[in-house]
């Protein structure tokens, strides 16, 4: 209506012809699809940038040993590069979802008019093509009624944000004094107004926090839409604020995550030390007992459990026990086991496809570059 008024001021009554065969109902549905299409493309590009940063850092740290966790308890040693590539896969699926959403939303509602179509002899295929849509929408009532493309985009954005939030949580943990695995750069951390020693991982915390906003936007639009009889109702105007906010927040989060990954200093020594605690190679000992001594896995599990208990009593890690201590519990253990318990050797053995051995992670890096960049 504003454009029409401005045109009237410029060219006079002929401006009144502009709205022929149109309604705000098909116009707003068209404009929103055009806007969202551009933002989905930007989000995809930003995801690709994050993948590039993760792949570069993974390549640098193919053989950097760190503890892998389950239940946030030390589980088995892994390669840091392997861990970072896990996020590359997640963001890769996110990009697939953004692309699926783009494909489905790229139909032109223009010409649906208010809801029933129009008696004017318009060419919907021509306007669809001029606006870069794949085709005109098939049903004029559907064209002005639904905002499922908004919900779908917000769902895809929520999944990206959820992945970024998990990455951010790890950066928060890893940069703490207790972990000491990384240092975030000054660009992405701040001091405290009162405690001079502090470096707070603000940017990572904000990524985690903004994820709540983005998921909130998804739930908000779903709730707006769920009770609306067809076709257009003014309630649908409430889709804009959460949608715009969510995509602004997502862009910020992707920029911050990419910067943090590129800038972070990896403290490989601290990671290696941590991988040598928590008896991270206990599974390797149990597997050796199965493979070399021939005991059933359950018995190997029990023997290894007794050895772990002994290490706890002595206040050391499993890998630091003397051979005599190991043999005191299981006499069939021999000197081969000493090297076996080294975390670096533990990762090197896990050569199964997609596994954590540096040789395998190097292959994953090369494949990820081909698939995503
Ligand atoms: N008021 C209205 N549509 C407004 C759509 C734009 C709105 N700002 C939005 O974002 O949904 N619909 C009228 C038709 C019209 O004004 O074209 C109706 O269906 O009665």
Instruction: Show the ligand 1 pocket: residues with CB < 6 angstroms.
Output: 23-25, 28, 114, 232, 236-237, 240
Report the residue among 21, 24, 221 best suited for mutation to probe ligand 1: largest number of ligand atoms under 8 A from its CB. 24
- 370: exposed, middle or buried (Cβ count in 10 Å: 0-12, 13-18, 19+): exposed
Looking at the CA of residue 115, tell me the nearest atom of ligand 1: 19
Q: Is 265 helix (H, G, I), strand (E, B) or coil?
A: strand
CA of 104 to the centre of ligand 1 (A): 23
Residues 111, 113, 116, 120: is their CA dihedral positive or negative? Answer: negative
| Residues 373, 56 contacting (CB under 8 angstroms) | no
The 10s digit of each residue's pLDDT in 153-205 is: 999 999 999 999 999 999 999 999 999 999 999 999 998 888 888 889 999 99
| Residues 253, 164 contacting (CB under 8 angstroms) | yes
Nearest Cα residue to atom 10 of ligand 1: 237
Closest CA to 356 of 59, 60, 79: 79
Looking at the CA of residue 231, tell me the nearest atom of ligand 1: 19
The 10s digit of each residue's pLDDT in 120-152 is: 999 999 999 999 999 999 999 999 999 999 999
| Residues 235, 192 contacting (CB under 8 angstroms) | no
Residue 339 CA neighbour count, 13 Å, CB half: 5
Nearest Cα residue to atom 9 of ligand 1: 237
CA of 133 to the centre of ligand 1 (A): 22
Residue whose token pair is 């870069």: 132
Q: How far apart are CA 128 and CA 323, in angstroms?
A: 76
Looking at the CA of residue 240, tell me the nearest atom of ligand 1: 10
Q: How far apart are CA 36 and CA 219, in angstroms?
A: 18
CA of 232 to the centre of ligand 1 (A): 7
**Which residues belong to the active site?**
71, 192
Could you give the angle at which helices 240-263 and 148-174 cross, rounded to 10 degrees?
30
Nearest Cα residue to atom 8 of ligand 1: 237
Whole-structure pTM value:
0.94
CA of 22 to the centre of ligand 1 (A): 11
The 10s digit of each residue's pLDDT in 76-133 is: 999 999 999 999 999 999 999 999 999 999 999 999 999 999 999 999 999 999 999 9
């Amino acid at each position: 209506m504003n454009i029409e008024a401005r045109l009237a001021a410029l060219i006079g009554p002929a401006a009144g012809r502009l709205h022929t065969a149109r309604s705000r109902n098909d116009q707003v549905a068209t404009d929103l699809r055009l806007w969202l299409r551009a933002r989905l493309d930007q989000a995809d590009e930003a995801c690709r940038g994050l993948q590039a940063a993760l792949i570069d850092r993974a390549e640098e740290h193919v053989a950097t040993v760190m503890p892998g966790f389950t239940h946030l308890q030390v589980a088995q040693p892994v390669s840091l590069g392997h861990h970072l590539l896990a996020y590359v896969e997640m963001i890769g699926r996110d990009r697939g979802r953004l692309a699926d959403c783009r494909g489905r939303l790229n139909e032109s509602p223009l010409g649906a008019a208010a809801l029933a179509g129009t008696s004017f002899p318009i060419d919907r295929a021509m306007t669809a093509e001029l606006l870069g849509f794949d085709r005109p929408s098939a049903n004029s009532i559907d064209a002005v009624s639904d905002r499922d493309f908004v919900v779908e985009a917000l769902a895809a954005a929520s999944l990206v944000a959820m992945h970024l939030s998990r990455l951010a949580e790890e950066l928060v943990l890893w940069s703490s004094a207790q972990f000491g695995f990384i240092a975030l750069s000054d660009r992405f951390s701040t001091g405290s107004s009162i405690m001079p020693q502090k470096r707070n991982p603000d940017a990572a915390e904000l990524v985690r926090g903004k994820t709540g906003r983005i998921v909130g936007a998804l739930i908000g639009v779903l709730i707006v839409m769920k009770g609306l009889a067809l076709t257009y109702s003014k309630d649908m105007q409430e889709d804009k604020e959460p949608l715009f906010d969510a995509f602004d927040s997502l862009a910020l989060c992707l920029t911050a995550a990419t910067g943090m990954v590129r800038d972070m200093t990896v403290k490989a020594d601290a990671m290696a030390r941590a991988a040598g605690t928590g008896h991270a190679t206990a599974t390797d000992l149990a597997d050796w007992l199965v493979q070399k001594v021939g005991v059933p896995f359950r018995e190997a599990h029990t023997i290894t459990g007794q050895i772990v208990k002994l290490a706890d009593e002595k206040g050391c890690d499993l890998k630091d026990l003397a051979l005599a201590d190991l043999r005191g519990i299981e006499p069939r253990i021999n000197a081969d086991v000493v090297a076996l318990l080294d975390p670096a050797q533990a990762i090197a053995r896990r050569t199964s496809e997609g596994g954590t051995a540096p040789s395998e992670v190097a292959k994953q890096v090369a494949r990820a570059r081909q698939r995503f960049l």
